[in-house]
Amino acid sequence: MQAVRRKIVAVMVEGGDLLDEWINVLQDAFDKLTDSPTKTYEREMRTVSTKMNLNIKDETVGLKKDLLFLERVKAEQSESPDSPWAVILSKIDFLSLLAPYHPINEETFRKECECTLRLLRLFVKPNGNNRKPIFITDWDGTMKDYCSQYATNLQPVYSAVGITRFAARFTRLSAVLTAGPLRGPGILDLTAMPIDGPVLFSGSWGREWWLGGKRIVHDDGISNEGFDALQKLDDEMKDLLHMNDFSLFALVGSGVQRKVDRLTLGVQTVFGCVRPELSNRYQDAVKERINRVDPDNHILIFDPSTTLEVEIVAHSSGVIWNKADGMDRVVATRCQSLKDPGNILICGDTLSDLPMVRRAAALNPEGVMVIFVGLDEKLRQSVRDIVENENRCCFVSCPDVVHAAMAQLLNEFS
């Protein structure tokens, strides 16, 4: 399905014809997700020995919004068949399209969109050096709604078109820093944006980047034996997931994510759909596989980080890596600097994104701007304390507010 979404995005960004057969693929997927076996966005998954309910709300709602978006696009095309894509897209009212899905209400959506639009106007405002600004963002929860299953956390068309056009039109550097991997599945598999387009992609908190069609890895502090042990354990996990009892864990939360310095494994869903006994057996089986790879227990660390996932981390030489380090690497690689006069927009939604805000604020206190998604007031206050200027902070409840504001800004410049 993402292959079709990417084709649609490429046409809208680069030019070409929007084929009905592509829209039909999305419609067929939506119809299958909403047929009779689905009850209140839940679908039963069965293996030989067990069963589990999967929540598919994000996948379903994403398709619904895409279909509504494409319906409006086709209507505009029928009225103005010779108009270029920029004109067609400028006629789409994203506020009315996305506001009904706001977690609070439509009025709040519009107020948050106004705030975001004011900040974006300030962000793209020309400065004395005639250099476009820099845009760095987290992904899950920031530019993309959270999904119960990481493996199906698929970006919709409307979102991909907006971010791609925004990055190309207004920025000299745009980059996504996500905690998940690049592949396997990772951000490169889940996005609908062109992976070699105006937005750069990273995984593992910016330890791995997709640059110029190649995977670039920053392995600071990780030994060769640590890399080897993680690869062997990753192979063991592939074998483990082929066992009937444990095959469903490929779709539980994080699934199995191979990152640069660790494996992240989903052991429970946010809705508690996995029987505790099965989750415990799975974790015991994982520990047994770790013991096969590292019998002396001196390379890999089993860390039950949350009730939803566990991490198996390779011992490091004391290097503590965060997203600010990943941001620094891509900025330097692209021969840019956060110190330059000009604006820097950082977008995030969790504590793990604050290091990027701190680094940008330290290097460019007059140019840093921040959009944070979510309702955590303590986190919002942390952002305010770092930026020290309320006019350069904006707080919204969901990613769609940012998408609508980006679309409106593009319309103003079309």
- Amino acid letter for position 266: G
What sign does the dihedral 158-161-162-164 (CA atoms) show? Answer: positive
Q: How far is residue 108 from each of residues 99, 383, 395, measured CA to CA in Å?
A: 9, 21, 11
Q: Whose structure tokens read 């039109």?
A: 169
- Catalytic one among 58, 138, 140, 325? 140
Q: For residue 168, which of 408, 406, 412 has the smallest C-alpha distance?
A: 406
Cβ–Cβ under 8 Å, residues 337 and 344: no
Which uninterrupted H or E stretch holds 315?
Answer: none
Q: Whose structure tokens read 């409840």?
A: 397
How is residue 281 written in tokens?
């057996």
CA atoms of 30 and 335, how far apart (whole Å): 43
What sign does the dihedral 13-14-17-18 (CA atoms) show? Answer: negative
Q: Catalogue the E-assigned strands of 153-288.
A: 173-176, 199-203, 208-211, 214-217, 256-258, 262-266
In the Cβ-directed half-sphere of 198, how many Cα atoms lie within 13 Å? 20
Please name the residues in contact with 366: beta carbons below 8 A apart, sequence gap of 6 or more. none
User: Is 140 noted as a catalytic residue in this protein?
Assistant: yes
In the Cβ-directed half-sphere of 176, how many Cα atoms lie within 13 Å? 32
CA atoms of 217 and 207, how far apart (whole Å): 6
| Positions marked active-site | 140
